[in-house]
Amino acid sequence: LINISCSVPQRRSMHPDFAPKRDPLPEFENQDEVFDFIKAEIESQPVYLFMKGTPQQPMCGFSKAVVAVLSREGVVFGSSNVLESDALREGIKKFSDWPTIPQLYINKQFVGGCDIVIEMHQNGDLRQMLEPYRLKKDQQPRKPMPEPPAGYEPA
């Protein structure tokens, strides 16, 4: 017989360059706290998306489609990943009285989910709503792009 031993390496701390850039969502005690969080988020930026995943890594096709539309429209937007909190995932549905995610807010007003956003994009209504928030050709996003890690040299 051959004795095979296997050990699992201990998880080392994550290098800061690869750590999440956003603070984790708070623990919510009740629905009022969830609603207060939602209100604060949609007031923090004129275009805000509650989605599954992040804009850089959407975790469902509907969220990915809305991110693509907003990118094509040329707007910078805030977002929350509802997969990080069951309370937020259920709370946003109650807050808007809309059963699905993603959910888009423009100027603190609920616009709709994926189907509505795509339809509005196709008929031009979304472009009109987003016009005040579109980046001009020489304009930079309000939040600067993250700096590359120290010592990074492009190939």
The pTM of this model reads: 0.73
The one-letter code for the residue type at 16 is P
Q: 102 near 54, Cβ under 8 Å?
A: no
- Would residue 151 be called left, alpha or beta, if left means φ above 0 and alpha means ψ between -120 and 50 degrees? left
Q: 50 near 101, Cβ under 8 Å?
A: yes
- Identify any residues that bridge with 84 across adjacent strands, giving them in sequence order: none
What does the pLDDT profile of the chain (155 residues) look like in tens digits?
A: 554 444 444 444 555 555 555 556 667 778 889 899 999 999 999 999 999 999 999 999 999 999 999 999 999 999 999 999 899 999 999 999 999 999 999 999 999 999 999 999 999 999 999 999 887 655 555 544 445 555 655 54
Helices (DSSP H) in 46-124: which residue ranges?
61-73, 86-96, 114-123
**40 SS3 class:** helix
State the pairing for strand pair 47-51/78-81.
parallel
The alpha carbon of 53 is separated from its chain's Cα centroid by a whole number of angstroms, namely 6
8-state DSSP, 137:
T
- Would residue 107 be called left, alpha or beta, if left means φ above 0 and alpha means ψ between -120 and 50 degrees? left
Bond into 132 cis (ω within 30): no
